[in-house]
Amino acid sequence: MAPLDVDKVLAELDLNEKISLLSGIDFWHTAPVKRLGIPSIRTSDGPNGVRGTQFFNGVPAACFPCGTGLAATWDQSLIKDGGRLMGREAIAKGAHVILGPTVNMQRSPLGGRGFESFSEDPYLAGVMGAAVVSGIQDTGVAATIKHFVCNDQEHERQAMDAVLSQRALREIYLMPFQIAQRDAKPMAYMTAYNRVNGTHMSDHKRILREILRDEWGFDGLVMSDWFGTYTSADSINAGLDLEMPGPPRVRGNQTAIDVGLRKIQERTIDERVRKLLELINKVDKLNIPENAAESTVDSKETSEALRYIGASSHVLLKNEGQVLPFKRDKSVAVIGPNAQIACYAGGGSANLRPYYAVTPFEGIKAQGEGDVKYALGAAGHRRLPDLGRTVKTADGTKSGLTAKFFIDPPSAKERKQVDTVHVETSDILLADYKNPEITSPYFWVDLEGKLTPDESREWLFGVCVSGTANLWIGGKLVVDNTENQKQGDSFFGSGTIEEFGSIYLEAGKTYDVLVQFGSSATSNLRPTGTTVMAGGGVRVGGAVKTEAREEIDKAVKLAKEVDQVVVIAGLSADWESEGYDRKTMELPGASNKLIAAVAAANPNTAVFLQSGTPVSMPWISSVPAIVQAWYGGNETGNAVADVLFGKVSPSGKLPLSFPVKNEDNPAFLNYRSERGRTLYGEDVYVGYRYYEKVQREVLFPFGWGLSYTTFDLSNLRVEDESTDGKLVARVDVKNTGSKRGAQVVQVYVSQGAPSIGRPKKELKGFSKVWLEPGEQSEARVELDKKYATSFWDEEAEAWISEADEYEILVGDSSVSTPLRARFGVAKTTWWKGL
């Protein structure tokens, strides 16, 4: 298709057509105007993969490590390559626009979507975000950087007001977006749900127009987060181009009325439409047809790339006595709640249906040459494990269940069935399910399967639902979640709490499993907030009832019988998810007791932790080896095994500080919304900026990460190239160990005598260097001098670089910066823009 002549098209569009273009038409597509050749373009989540157009039973996709895992690589080139792979995935899914990356700040360890973001540090988040954006847009696909700005908690995320100083807003929260805009120029931005200093971001003229467009020179499209447009006139006048999803809820007819009332000028409508038309032209070269069929890029090359990124994200936190890497020919016990499940992603819109997902046990079993044995040790679920993993279809040929769709309830004598779908999971969301025969918000689904227990035990089942649901096992009603429903946090806050029931099941006997689900319209529960999941969803979980002490005893017994033990513990998509924040930093259930008991039973114990954000480690002094493994995407288990057995020497560094306990973190007193307000009382002292300022000990500092080899940093040289505003730091790096590995040279800057309080030092550059044993190389880190020295002057409403002496501090973490050099700024200057 030839590019649109934007001015000509604008002149030919009538007002109603223009207004139609300001909102989506469904969950993923923009509106077309056929008579003028304006196509509909497709968007798709998200931050760690490209789902396609379906939450429910979508086309499988490549799943990358979570955002904190990507940032833990500290490897911009690698992450840019990952962005290119995301772009190719989008093209396969017929998507023109990827809804990512996420570059929000991790104010607290408890943020529900902290795993999606990159870092507590705005510079690291910004350059990683820029790398992803650049990689995606190299393929012609548009990246949508999000959530602009201060979407740093889930509690009351659509209602809460982030109250913060202009300095904190500029130096911490806007800075990642500013760096990405400077270095990568995203084609689109997504506004956050929340308010900032009193105004919802979708209505925030000061930030959307004056800062983003006028000051930074952004010329692309601004869309809302899904259901995050709350006004018609205010959002259009503020610069929000596109309301998503569609059909419109606050625009449409209301916008036409607002134009008639002169609340909106038609030329402002034209400004908003122009940005959509320009985006269509930018992605036109993809030649993706409207409503394109979705396909996959499930190849050997994709798998190898995901495996390498996953292994590169691992951070070796501790390795006393060189317990790691394990010896392949020795026996191994793989223990823990995350060992035989693949925690490949966090929950919410970041989740997707992966091509496949390798569990840690599978990955370790494939590489281990000695006996590899398993024990659960402790349950780690927040909600009962997905029953779809345990059951089979009625004919016994497939794992999962058969979903039968009806336009009549189970009570109807002659029900009309309109669809049959095989589902691998019993956790289904039908927000974007479409069927031409379902024309009412009322419909019903029967999920059918067979369950054959391995042992005779009491089973516990749970059901949470956005809608209504009953669970029948062997003809017996076990869970009724249809009446007296209680509001919970499932399905983005639109669903119920998990209701439970139990039943004794006999080993070897096959039981019919039947879930009778009614769409969201069948429920009398009316959740608060604006995220409406039309169609609804249901999640059914089930597991054998276990006794914590009994499972730990089994694990300890096994640990004593083998040469080496790895405990795979942590969180999952149930614990870290869009829609709610964590309540504690603790590992779930009896995980802490399990780790302590196993470590006492076998001195050759390593713990691999899967989480997107920090967890507490009360057992840390008794465990010799600890690895932070994040959520690793499709290749989770293989990446774990690669690091465990030393196929890959870990080279990751923490992109965020791990405090000893939640009470230590700088946002502790100010996290969560109180009467609709969240006070960012820590100001610019986020993460290591705070811990170092108040001299508070942490479990592991920002930038921390060990290796299976050792490195020496020496001979720091700083070149002040004032003519082009650049500083160049050069450092000699030598691999002094016996294995190939990589070191991340981190460059921090500190001002000598600032006129206001500033952090002790701030990250301003880094370089990752790969070296063979005995090899030496030079790391070169280029710094932008004005970015390296400036803070936000609230009186001048501008950045200020003060005349002063500054120090460059170089090392391998925020607390280890032994190399130092100085440079000066001769004259105080103020600046704005990029």
Residue 522: per-residue pLDDT: 95
How far apart are the C-alpha atoms of 537 and 816, rounded to whole Å?
49
How far apart are the C-alpha atoms of 60 and 634, rounded to whole Å?
11
Strand partners, 718: 729
Q: Is the peptide bond before 149 cis (omega within 30 degrees of 0)?
A: yes
CB 266, CB 259: distance < 8 Å:
yes
Query: Does residue 516 surpass a pLDDT of 90?
Result: yes
Taking residues 796-805, what's their average pLDDT?
A: 98
Q: Give the residue from 164, 162, 163 showing the smallest Cα distance to 152.
A: 162
Residue 528: per-residue pLDDT: 62
Same fold, 6-286 and 711-831: no
CB 132, CB 78: distance < 8 Å:
no
Query: Does residue 530 surpass a pLDDT of 60?
Result: no
Residue 46: per-residue pLDDT: 80
Give whole-number Cα distances, 377 to 555, 586, 591, 616, 737, in Å. 5, 17, 8, 19, 36
CB 625, CB 123: distance < 8 Å:
no
Strand partners, 61: 354
The answer to whether the predicted template modeling score (pTM) of the entire model surpasses 0.75 is yes
Read out DSSP for 560-574?
HHSSEEEEEEE--TT
CB 556, CB 583: distance < 8 Å:
no
Give whole-number Cα distances, 85 to 64, 127, 224, 314, in Å. 10, 18, 25, 20
The count of other CB atoms within 10 Å of the CB of residue 302 is 18
CB 215, CB 161: distance < 8 Å:
no
Q: Is the peptide bond before 176 cis (omega within 30 degrees of 0)?
A: no
Do β-strands 97-99 and 142-148 pair in parallel, antiparallel, or remain unpaired?
A: parallel
pLDDT digits (tens, 9 = 90+) for 250-279: 999 999 999 999 999 999 999 999 999 999
**Going edge to edge, which strands form the sheet with 711-721?**
711-721, 726-735, 776-784
How far apart are the C-alpha atoms of 539 and 471, rounded to whole Å?
11
Q: Give the residue from 344, 336, 300 showing the smallest Cα distance to 607.
A: 336
Choice between 526 and 114, residue whose per-residue pLDDT is larger: 114
- Main-chain dihedrals φ then ψ at residue 807, nearest 5 degrees: -120, 135
Q: Give the residue from 822, 828, 757, 766 showing the smallest Cα distance to 796.
A: 828
How far apart are the C-alpha atoms of 146 and 177, rounded to whole Å?
8
- Main-chain dihedrals φ then ψ at residue 773, nearest 5 degrees: -55, 130
Q: Please return the burial class of 419, using the count of CB atoms within 10 Å of its CB with bins 0-12, 13-18 and 19+.
A: middle
How far apart are the C-alpha atoms of 652 and 317, rounded to whole Å?
10
**Domain extents in the chain:** 6-286, 383-544, 711-831
Task: Specify the DSSP element, H or E, that contains 199.
Answer: strand 199-200
How many residues can be counted in the chain? 834
Can you read off the two tokens belonging to residue 722? 């004032």
pLDDT digits (tens, 9 = 90+) for 194-242: 999 999 999 999 999 999 999 999 999 999 999 999 999 999 999 999 9
Residue 534: per-residue pLDDT: 81
Taking residues 547-574, what's their average pLDDT?
A: 97
How far apart are the C-alpha atoms of 74 and 313, rounded to whole Å?
8
pLDDT band at 529 (very low <50, low <70, confident <90, very high): low
How far apart are the C-alpha atoms of 739 and 625, rounded to whole Å?
18
Read out DSSP for 585-629?
SSPSTTHHHHHHHHHHH-SSEEEEEE-SS----TTGGG-SEEEE-
Read out DSSP for 466-479?
ESEEEEEETTEEEE
Q: What percent of the chain has pLDDT over 70?
A: 99
Do β-strands 698-700 and 188-191 pair in parallel, antiparallel, or remain unpaired?
A: unpaired
Q: Give the residue from 766, 763, 768, 762 showing the smallest Cα distance to 781.
A: 766
Give Cβ neighbours of residue 460 (< 8 Å, ≥ 6 apart): 384, 500, 501, 502, 542, 543, 544, 545
Strand partners, 502: 460
Q: Give the residue from 65, 232, 99, 123 showing the smallest Cα distance to 639.
A: 65
> DSSP E strands: which ranges in 315-359?
315-319, 332-335
Can you read off the two tokens belonging to residue 194? 């929340």
Query: Does residue 724 surpass a pLDDT of 90?
Result: no
Residue 476: per-residue pLDDT: 97
3 state DSSP class of 77? helix
DSSP letter assigned to residue 706: B
6-286 is classed CATH 3.20.20.300: yes
383-544 is classed CATH 2.60.120.260: yes
CA dihedral 650, 618, 69, 57 (to 10 degrees): 130
Taking residues 303-310, what's their average pLDDT?
A: 97
Read out DSSP for 214-271?
IIT---SEEEEPTT----SHHHHHHT--BB-SSS-SSSTHHHHHHHHTTSS-HHHHHH
Q: Give the residue from 175, 176, 208 showing the smallest Cα distance to 103.
A: 176
Q: Give the residue from 429, 449, 501, 91 showing the smallest Cα distance to 292.
A: 91
Taking residues 175-186, what's their average pLDDT?
A: 98
Query: Does residue 678 surpass a pLDDT of 90?
Result: yes
Residue in this structure with the two tokens 């005779």, named with its chain if needed = 456
Mean confidence (pLDDT) of the chain: 96
Residue 396: per-residue pLDDT: 83
The count of other CB atoms within 10 Å of the CB of residue 634 is 28
Taking residues 312-332, what's their average pLDDT?
A: 98
Superfamily of domain 711-831: Immunoglobulins (2.60.40.10)
The count of other CB atoms within 10 Å of the CB of residue 746 is 26
Residue 721: per-residue pLDDT: 73
CA dihedral 598, 602, 606, 610 (to 10 degrees): -10
Choice between 659 and 546, residue whose per-residue pLDDT is larger: 659
Q: Give the residue from 488, 578, 499 showing the smallest Cα distance to 527.
A: 488
Say how far residue 229 (Cα) sits from the centre of its chain: 22
DSSP letter assigned to residue 390: T
How far apart are the C-alpha atoms of 350 and 87, rounded to whole Å?
16
Taking residues 502-507, what's their average pLDDT?
A: 97
Q: Give the residue from 613, 562, 614, 566 showing the smallest Cα distance to 594.
A: 566
Ramachandran quadrant class, 570 (left: phi over 0; alpha: psi -120 to 50; beta: rest) = left
Residue 653: per-residue pLDDT: 98
How far apart are the C-alpha atoms of 171 and 682, rounded to whole Å?
13
Can you read off the two tokens belonging to residue 643? 């690091």
Query: Does residue 248 surpass a pLDDT of 70?
Result: yes
Residue 531: per-residue pLDDT: 57
Residue in this structure with the two tokens 């302590």, named with its chain if needed = 596
Least-confidence region, from 429-438, 508-517, 750-759: 429-438
CB 470, CB 515: distance < 8 Å:
yes
How far apart are the C-alpha atoms of 672 and 168, rounded to whole Å?
18
Taking residues 803-827, what's their average pLDDT?
A: 97
How far apart are the C-alpha atoms of 782 and 721, rounded to whole Å?
10
Residue 389: per-residue pLDDT: 87
Taking residues 552-560, what's their average pLDDT?
A: 98
Can you read off the two tokens belonging to residue 90? 């989008």
Residue type, 594: L
pLDDT band at 357 (very low <50, low <70, confident <90, very high): very high
Can you read off the two tokens belonging to residue 233? 């006139």
The counts of H helices and E strands in the chain are: 19, 37
Active site amino acids: 225
Residue 123: per-residue pLDDT: 98
